[in-house]
Amino acid sequence: MKGALQAASEFFESSPKSKAKFISPDITKPVRYDCSNDGLSKSRSLLKHYAHPLDEWIHFWPQEPPSYREKMGKYAVEIRRVALDILDAIFQSLGLHQAYIREKLEQGMQFLAVNSYPQSTKPGVTVGLAPHSDYGFITLILPSCPGLEVMEHHTKSWKTVLQPSDAIHVHVGDHLEVLSNGIFRTLVHRAVLHSEKNRVSVASIHGFPMDEKVKSAGELVDEEHPKLYRESSFKDFLDFLLSRRNNNESYIESLRISTI
């Protein structure tokens, strides 16, 4: 975990030229660096890259700092193991068939969102990453210091998440809401700027393979519990992001089936 945070910090401190190599308007690129202000990123630099299977992607990753691939690669493999264990427990709690889901998860995708936020004491400049929910089943977030806030489902108010040292946050994502037919609810969250320090975080997002449609599990749908969401894949999510430019609808809202 320390190695991953160190690799993240050193990447953002590396020369503008070595980071610029990864800038691309194409959101389907396996590695992408983005320091633009796009509405979601208010004040954040982002390095996003695919991570599983590692052999397939690691040779696209940054080589600056020189230890980046080794440190982030080690973290990616270990955090995926933790994520799959947590998902196993979640699926078991829902009474879902383990074998089918395990198989899809084994081939499933993982990507890392490596974030950097500047320190800020400017009045009015407090949010680094605007409110959103994550695609995928779960996201595991490793931050260097406090700054994460989550929206409570009932009160719709922001809660600061405590940050004991060496703790990882686990977030429910949009596709777990779909798969569980609404039993698990996606988590809206944001990142605020720290008044004294720059902050980095490594978010690891886990889901089914890119073209695999996620739908509400058959075991959880019956006459009393109608299907609440349309099925969709990671590819569909990217298409949604590309088509959304002009309105604020969230991905999960776009999947909801009206029951009235």
Residues that bind ligand OGA (CB under 6 A): 113, 115, 129, 134, 141, 143, 147-148, 189, 191, 201, 203
Q: Which does 45 bind (CB under 5 to 8 A by kind): ligand OGA, Ni ion, none?
A: none
Of all residues in the shown chain, the one whose CB is closest to ligand OGA is: 201
- Residue 170 buriedness (CB in 10 A; 0-12 / 13-18 / 19+): middle
User: Which conformational region is residue 110 in: left (phi greater than 0), alpha (psi within -120 to 50 degrees), or beta?
Assistant: beta
CA atoms of 83 and 140, how far apart (whole Å): 7
Beta strands in 61-137 (DSSP E): 109-117, 127-132
CA atoms of 186 and 6, how far apart (whole Å): 30
Q: How many residues bind Ni ion (CB under 5 A)?
A: 1
CA atoms of 73 and 51, how far apart (whole Å): 8
* Residue 139 vs 180, nearer CB to Ni ion: 139
* Residue 79 vs 191, nearer CB to ligand OGA: 191
- Residue 148 buriedness (CB in 10 A; 0-12 / 13-18 / 19+): buried
* Residue 4 vs 141, nearer CB to ligand OGA: 141
* Residue 113 vs 138, nearer CB to ligand OGA: 113
Kindly write out the interface string for residues 93-132 of this chain, putting x where it contacts Ni ion by CB under 5 A and - elsewhere: ----------------------------------------
Establish if 134 lies at the interface with Ni ion (CB under 5 A): yes
- The residues that touch Ni ion, with contacts defined as CB under 5 A, are 134
